[in-house]
Amino acid sequence: MDLRNGIGLRPLGNTPAEFEQDLLSNLYYRRGTTVESASAQDAYETLALTVRDRLAARRARTSAAQYAANPRWVYYLSAEFLFGRQLSQNLLYSNTGEVAAAALKAFGLAPGEVEELDVEPGLGNGGLGRLAACLLDAMATLDIPAVGYGIRYDFGIFKQAFADGAQVEKPDAWAFQGNPWEFPAPDDRQTVFFYGHTTRDSDGNTTWIPGEIVLGEPSHMLVPGYGTDTVNIVRLWSARGSESSFDLSRFSAGQYAEAVQEAVRAENISKVLYPDDSTELGRELRLKQQYFLVSCSLRDIIRRFRLRNAAWSEFAGKTAIQLNDTHPTLAIPELMRLLVDEEGLSWDEAWEITQRTFAYTCHTLLPEALETWPVALFERLLPRHLEIIYAINEGLLGEVRSRFPDDLDRVRRMSLIQEEPERRVRMANLAVTGTTAVNGVAELHSKLLAETTLRDFAELWPAKFRNVTNGVSPRRFVRLANPSLADLITSSLGDGGWINDLDRLEDLAPLADDPAFLSRWREIKRANKVRLGLGDPDSLTDVMVKRFHEYKRQQLKLLHVITQYHRIKNNPGGSYVPRTVLFAGKAAPAYHAAKSIIRLINAVARVVDEDAAVAPYLKIVFPPNYNVTLGELIIPAADLSEQISLAGKEASGTGNMKLALNGAITIGTLDGANIEIRDRVGADNFFLFGLDTPGATALRAAGYNPRAYYERDDELRAALDAIASGAFGGVGQEVADSLLNRDEYLTLADYRAYVDCQSEVDEAWQDQDRWTRASILNTARTGFFSADRTVRDYISTIWHVDPVHVPHP
Ligand code: 26W
């Protein structure tokens, strides 16, 4: 019997009887318990294993087909992956939702009871991490041979709670109960070096003598495609001490801590995700994490390459490695080290292969988010890589000098090494230099990258610079998050094919004039609000969900809330559109200005809530611990999507796409992907306000004085004075101060336009048919923002890979 290639496998049936049989055998044989004594956790793990088996069967056939095809692979290197819960996804992708629900019923369990136990691997901060997960989902759905590589942090993004309205962070031991969705693969361990020094032999060959050796142990999770048999994987590395890291002699001498010190040091590398999403803190452990990720992943990629290929000249042709921001940029000098020091290739051969293999996606415009690392730290931690970076720099500056002779400033700006005030390695410069393509994540962002942040490089290598506008998984953020809307779309379009062909949503547009369809649409939105249960379902649900950052301007939304509060207080007899304003999001623990805004929002919410005169018209809710799972609950319930960042600051945004696809109308600035959303849904179906990027730049250049806006706008002054006077529980003064004296993100300059635009929103809401038509057109016209289109763009502009068809059994 041919057992290879998953052929000899007994197919796992999906009849209720067969599924129940497998559940029972997994309960007995893999959980080692019985129905009588099974806990809810047992039921959850057993169900997970039973569903996982069905995807693993596809995985077997996928890896067989991909092995046979010996294709060109995409490897997605990311320090963050924000997967979200796996159970509901895998039930849908394995088409076992019904049999599972029936079987659970037989066990006397309600599906929700088990769903609650499903973990959310919070291995990311926000946009960048979630995009990585959406792109992996799309690559599998498009049958692209791809592997994601990341770090299996023991502690993910912190759990957020509020104490007296202030954010408090709790550690997130996401896998404390275990994670049924992963396959540990200790047999694929890799060895990683740190510290030490380099030596050169008489032939000039360099050897790195490490000062510390750590093991990287992978465990992979399945990444199923939807509506196809492809199941790819994502490999997550955990750091381990070497076999000899336990010092028995110290232990027997009673020095217990010292005995395990080396192992603890090693394990610390993958202990916790850094919770910063825009400011680099330059911690040594973070650089160790980044090198750990790239060293393990490159060795694993080379191991896979060698399974079917031999010549290094083939490597770049078979391997497209995408660097998700600068965090994995060390992969460039690491591949050079492996090719030159270990494989004996010449520098030029190695450099040619390296540049052709890598591509870099930049996700930010904020100068403080562009990583630079002290040369002194490199000298200690990665001495060989520093040598290689110096050599790469020589090549770069040689090219710059020949192209732009006597332009010393340009040389200084482009150098991989910042000289003043401290010698630091510029990771973005290295990423651009060592890759074949550089892309931004929305048209405006890519344009600004080439015109400002990376202008010098765009002038040197214009062909390298591309744009690939972000996208989101319609499977998770429409089909799974909003099943009743998905059912309505399927029944309206005749079949469910639109989920993998999102441009077909366009066919909904004519239904925007069908009264029956309009009322069905409204019912679904209302039911999603009831499901969320955070405010009057008949109120306008105004949603701002994203990480807290001053450039995203949650403070501007709050000024509008306070203004509305004052309007109602000052004119209790007036007619007002009832609103539920929902904030959600985390702030980096060290980001005090953002945490002050959170505290003030909760203080304002309490005052408004306790004010009987205002409460019928205005409610502020702030559910704690915003994550993918909460997003899936909030997004389908939104009427208004707040995308109000200062123009030129939000690289793209992806929440804006998820909200528009679920029928929320955007109020926003001409920033990031808002522009492309507005271009597609039409100006009538988008509430635009505020400065655009040139306007913001001009205002700053002209010398921006926030106090002038305060002085000439009564409502603005009243709002800021209220905060400053402690009217909201005595908190928020520092927020008012910074707005009046600094206001780096021109909040006060955009205040009036924003508040007036919100009046237009109230106006529009009062014509429910007009509103619902615009809501339907937002869904109908945002199919472009499918992650499938994004992946197709990466393939046509950067990766140039072909799908591998996986035969259906
Ligand atoms: C060094 C600390 C650090 C950590 C993470 C700096 C920067 C980051 C990320 C790049 C921040 C991030 O998540 N950026 C967001 O990426 C999304 C996906 O492309 C975009 O949609 C958002 O606009 C962008 O803010």
- Residue 552 in contact with residue 546, Cβ under 8 Å? yes
Q: Is 271 a catalytic residue?
A: no
CA distance 225 to 240: 32
| 651 Cβ below 6 A of ligand 1 | yes
Q: Is 376 helix (H, G, I), strand (E, B) or coil?
A: helix
**How far does the centroid of ligand 1 lie from the alpha carbon of residue 321, in Å?**
19
| Nearest residue to 155 via CA among 185, 175, 178, 182 | 175
| 441 Cβ below 6 A of ligand 1 | yes
- Residue 545 in contact with residue 799, Cβ under 8 Å? no
| 364 Cβ below 6 A of ligand 1 | yes
pLDDT of the residue at 752: 98
Assigned domain for 661 exists: yes
- Residue 436 in contact with residue 425, Cβ under 8 Å? no
Q: Are residues 457 and 559 in the same domain?
A: no
Among 159, 304, 547, 599, the one annotated catalytic = 547
Which of the listed residues 278, 329, 361 should we mutate to test ligand 1's pocket, taking the one with most ligand atoms within 8 A of CB? 278
| 444 Cβ below 6 A of ligand 1 | no
Amino acid (one-letter) located at 556: L
Q: What is the residue-wise DSSP string for 571-586?
A: -TTS----EEEEEE--
| 653 Cβ below 6 A of ligand 1 | yes
Which of the listed residues 134, 273, 277, 652 should we mutate to test ligand 1's pocket, taking the one with most ligand atoms within 8 A of CB? 277
Q: Is 309 helix (H, G, I), strand (E, B) or coil?
A: coil
Q: Are residues 733 and 642 in the same domain?
A: yes
Assigned domain for 461 exists: yes
pLDDT of the residue at 79: 98
- Residue 148 in contact with residue 76, Cβ under 8 Å? yes
Q: Is 800 a catalytic residue?
A: no
CA distance 6 to 654: 38
Atom of ligand 1 lying closest to residue 286 CA:
1
Q: Are residues 378 and 524 in the same domain?
A: no
**How far does the centroid of ligand 1 lie from the alpha carbon of residue 786, in Å?**
19
Among 220, 327, 363, 529, the one annotated catalytic = 363
Q: What is the residue-wise DSSP string for 693-750?
A: HHHHHHHHHTT--HHHHHHH-HHHHHHHHHHHTTTTTT--HHHHHHHHHT-TT-HHHH
| 326 Cβ below 6 A of ligand 1 | no
Q: Is 569 a catalytic residue?
A: no
**How is residue 28 written in tokens?**
């007995």
Unique residue bearing structure tokens 């800021």: 720
Q: In whole numbers, what is the pLDDT of the chain averaged over residues?
A: 96
pLDDT of the residue at 2: 57
**How far does the centroid of ligand 1 lie from the alpha carbon of residue 446, in Å?**
14
Atom of ligand 1 lying closest to residue 327 CA:
1
CA distance 360 to 354: 13
The burial class, CB within 10 Å (0-12 / 13-18 / 19+), for 684 is exposed
Q: Are residues 171 and 281 in the same domain?
A: yes
Q: Kindly state the helix (H) or strand (E) to which residue 543 belongs, with its residue range.
A: strand 540-545
Assigned domain for 139 exists: yes
- Residue 527 in contact with residue 484, Cβ under 8 Å? yes
pLDDT of the residue at 5: 54
**How far does the centroid of ligand 1 lie from the alpha carbon of residue 583, in Å?**
20
| 552 Cβ below 6 A of ligand 1 | no
Q: Is 546 a catalytic residue?
A: yes
CA distance 320 to 338: 17
Q: Are residues 260 and 314 in the same domain?
A: yes
- DSSP state, residue 272: B
CA distance 257 to 802: 52
CA distance 132 to 244: 36
Atom of ligand 1 lying closest to residue 278 CA:
6
| 362 Cβ below 6 A of ligand 1 | no
**How is residue 285 written in tokens?**
């452990």
Q: Name the residue with the closest Cα to ligand 1, atom 21.
A: 653
**% of the chain beyond a pLDDT of 70:** 99
End-to-end Cα separation, the chain, in angstroms: 16
Among 464, 525, 552, 595, the one annotated catalytic = 552
- Residue 31 in contact with residue 46, Cβ under 8 Å? yes
| 323 Cβ below 6 A of ligand 1 | no
Q: Which residues of 90-99 are buried (b: 16+ CB within 10 A; e: fewer)?
A: bbbbbebeeb
| 676 Cβ below 6 A of ligand 1 | no
Amino acid (one-letter) located at 704: Y
Amino acid (one-letter) located at 540: L
Among 286, 546, 579, 649, the one annotated catalytic = 546
Q: Are residues 626 and 716 in the same domain?
A: yes
Assigned domain for 604 exists: yes
Assigned domain for 40 exists: no
Encode pLDDT of 285-344 as tens digits: 999 999 999 999 999 999 999 999 999 999 999 999 999 999 999 999 999 999 999 999
Atom of ligand 1 lying closest to residue 362 CA:
10
Instruction: Give the end of a domain, one of 469, 500, 534.
Output: 469
pLDDT of the residue at 243: 84
**How is residue 691 written in tokens?**
């400065």
- Read off the pTM: 0.98
| 586 Cβ below 6 A of ligand 1 | no
Q: Are residues 416 and 521 in the same domain?
A: no
Assigned domain for 632 exists: yes
Encode pLDDT of 85-126 as tens digits: 999 999 999 999 999 999 888 878 877 889 999 999 999 999
Q: Is 159 a catalytic residue?
A: no
Using 50, 70 and 90 to split pLDDT, how confident is the model at 6? low
Assigned domain for 773 exists: yes
**How is residue 719 written in tokens?**
């709002």
| 127 Cβ below 6 A of ligand 1 | yes
pLDDT of the residue at 245: 87
What are the strands, taking DSSP E only, across 210-260?
A: 212-224, 231-241
| 605 Cβ below 6 A of ligand 1 | no
Encode pLDDT of 735-770 as tens digits: 999 999 999 999 999 999 999 999 999 999 999 999
Q: Is 654 a catalytic residue?
A: yes
Q: Which residues of 30-42 are buried (b: 16+ CB within 10 A; e: fewer)?
A: ebeeeeeebeeeb
Q: Are residues 313 and 230 in the same domain?
A: yes
The burial class, CB within 10 Å (0-12 / 13-18 / 19+), for 203 is exposed
Atom of ligand 1 lying closest to residue 653 CA:
21
Q: Using the predicted structure, report yes or no on whether residue 427 has a pLDDT greater than 90.
A: yes
615 C-beta neighbours (distance < 10 Å), count: 14
| 363 Cβ below 6 A of ligand 1 | yes
| 280 Cβ below 6 A of ligand 1 | yes
CA distance 786 to 721: 44
- Residue 608 in contact with residue 618, Cβ under 8 Å? yes
The answer, yes or no, to whether the previous bond of 405 is cis (omega within 30 of 0) is no
Encode pLDDT of 614-660 as tens digits: 999 999 999 999 999 999 999 999 999 999 999 999 999 999 999 99
Output the domain CATH number for residue 143: 3.40.50.2000
Q: Name the residue with the closest Cα to ligand 1, atom 12.
A: 128
Question: Mean pLDDT throughout 658-673?
Answer: 98
- Residue 362 in contact with residue 410, Cβ under 8 Å? no
- Provide the residue range defining the domain that includes 395: 70-84+120-469
- Residue 109 in contact with residue 61, Cβ under 8 Å? no
The residues, ordered by sequence, that sit 6+ positions from 272 with a Cβ below 8 Å of its Cβ are 153, 154, 155, 171
pLDDT of the residue at 281: 63
Which of 6-20, 111-125, 218-232, 256-270 is predicted with the least confidence, judged by mean pLDDT?
A: 6-20
Q: Are residues 178 and 309 in the same domain?
A: yes
Half-sphere exposure for 377 (CA within 13 Å, toward CB): 15
Instruction: Give the end of a domain, one of 440, 469, 498.
Output: 469
| 276 Cβ below 6 A of ligand 1 | yes
Assigned domain for 562 exists: yes
pLDDT of the residue at 3: 58
Q: Is 120 helix (H, G, I), strand (E, B) or coil?
A: coil
| 188 Cβ below 6 A of ligand 1 | no
**How is residue 468 written in tokens?**
């690939």
Atom of ligand 1 lying closest to residue 361 CA:
19
Using 50, 70 and 90 to split pLDDT, how confident is the model at 12? confident
**How far does the centroid of ligand 1 lie from the alpha carbon of residue 339, in Å?**
31
Structural domains counted in the chain? 2
pLDDT of the residue at 742: 97
CA distance 107 to 114: 11
**How far does the centroid of ligand 1 lie from the alpha carbon of residue 792, in Å?**
22
**How far does the centroid of ligand 1 lie from the alpha carbon of residue 470, in Å?**
12
| Nearest residue to 205 via CA among 374, 69, 340 | 340
Among 96, 372, 654, 666, the one annotated catalytic = 654
Q: Name the residue with the closest Cα to ligand 1, atom 7.
A: 278
**How is residue 509 written in tokens?**
């547009």
pLDDT of the residue at 8: 67
Q: Are residues 545 and 431 in the same domain?
A: no
596 C-beta neighbours (distance < 10 Å), count: 23
Encode pLDDT of 488-545 as tens digits: 999 999 999 999 999 999 999 999 999 999 999 999 999 999 999 999 999 999 999 9
684 to each of 239, 658, 769, 777, how far by Cα in Å? 53, 19, 14, 10
The residues, ordered by sequence, that sit 6+ positions from 236 with a Cβ below 8 Å of its Cβ are 81, 123, 149, 150, 151, 152, 182, 218, 219, 220, 221
**How far does the centroid of ligand 1 lie from the alpha carbon of residue 371, in Å?**
12
Q: Are residues 325 and 417 in the same domain?
A: yes
Q: Are residues 327 and 202 in the same domain?
A: yes
Question: Mean pLDDT throughout 120-139?
Answer: 98
Q: Name the residue with the closest Cα to ligand 1, atom 17.
A: 127
Instruction: Give the end of a domain, one of 433, 449, 469.
Output: 469
pLDDT of the residue at 808: 86
Which of the listed residues 82, 128, 371 should we mutate to test ligand 1's pocket, taking the one with most ligand atoms within 8 A of CB? 128
CA distance 338 to 541: 55
pLDDT of the residue at 329: 98
Atom of ligand 1 lying closest to residue 369 CA:
6
